[in-house]
Amino acid sequence: MYKVVTNDLKSLGLRKNPMILTYRINKWLFSPTIKKGKTDDGGIWCCKSKGNAIKIQKYMLNKHNIETKIFVCEIGKILYQNSYRIKTNKLKIINEI
């Protein structure tokens, strides 16, 4: 799995998510709220593929002029998934790519 974060290791706030999380390398971050299903809130989202993470990275730069980093990550329990993203209860960023 892959996680796109800002250069200071914060979540992107996509889809108007007001809860900005701060990540630490090799440390588990637990979602403050848990909601199973398709809802945008209640979990931590990550990308299933490097290609989709790169698409988000390009979107952030082109639309918001925000540079980002991509990390390989480990995830906890899957709360929801679609063809390109997974929502989980916890996430640990490991290596920057």
Q: What is the pTM of this model?
A: 0.88
Give the long-range contacts of residues 91-95, CB within 8 A, separation 24 or more.
91/1, 91/3, 91/23, 91/28, 91/29, 91/44, 91/46, 92/26, 92/27, 92/28, 92/29, 93/3, 93/5, 93/9, 93/23, 93/24, 93/25, 93/26, 94/25, 94/26, 95/71
Over its length of 97 residues, how does the chain's per-residue pLDDT go in tens digits? 999 999 999 999 887 777 889 999 999 999 887 778 776 667 899 999 999 999 999 999 999 999 999 999 999 999 999 998 999 999 999 999 9
